[in-house]
Amino acid sequence: MTENQNFVEKPKTVCNIGSFGLWFRFFVVGLVSACTVGLATPWMIVWIVGYICNNTTVDGKSIEYTCTGGKLFVEQIKVCLLTIITVGIYSFWVPARVLKFHIKYIHISEEY
């Protein structure tokens, strides 16, 4: 038995986003969100997360982000209402709910 038989290849994740492209998107998100008094923020968040996911591959399989800004807007309204109704107690669960929401719309395709 050779020593290479016990070697297990680790999954390879490749993210092809340029730092300029990401910083430019962050700048646009801030500018548009400020101009719309935060109303366009869900669409801008979907734009950023979609850019990162759509330019990432895991083991040669591409990742696709299928959420829309409207869905995220409705989710943010729900979270705000639940936080107000529970007098802020629900705010401890908000990060987990938002993460689960985003994960629900991430799909790994079989082809590259």
83 lies in a domain?
Answer: yes
Q: How far is CA 16 from CA 9, 49, 57, 88, 111, in A?
A: 21, 13, 8, 39, 17
Number of domains the chain contains: 1
5 lies in a domain?
Answer: no
The values of phi and psi at residue 108, to 5°, are -105, 120
pLDDT tens for the chain, 112 residues long, are: 555 566 666 767 787 777 788 888 889 999 999 999 989 999 999 999 999 998 888 888 889 999 999 999 999 999 999 999 999 999 999 999 999 999 999 999 876 5
Give residue 16's pLDDT: 77
- Core vs surface per residue 35-48: b (16+ CB within 10 A) or e: eeeeebbbbbbbbe
3 lies in a domain?
Answer: no
80 lies in a domain?
Answer: yes
4 lies in a domain?
Answer: no
38 lies in a domain?
Answer: yes
Rounded to 5 degrees, what angle do the CA atoms 61, 10, 1 make? 130
Give residue 32's pLDDT: 92
Q: What does the block give as tokens for 18? A: 């340029």
2 lies in a domain?
Answer: no
89 lies in a domain?
Answer: yes
Q: Of 54, 46, 60, 62, which Cα lies nearest the Cα of 108?
A: 62
Q: How many CB atoms lie within 10 A of CB 77?
A: 11
**CA dihedral for 65, 69, 70, 71, sign (positive or negative):** positive
Q: Model's pTM, two decimal places?
A: 0.79
- Full residue range of the structural domain in which residue 73 is found: 12-108
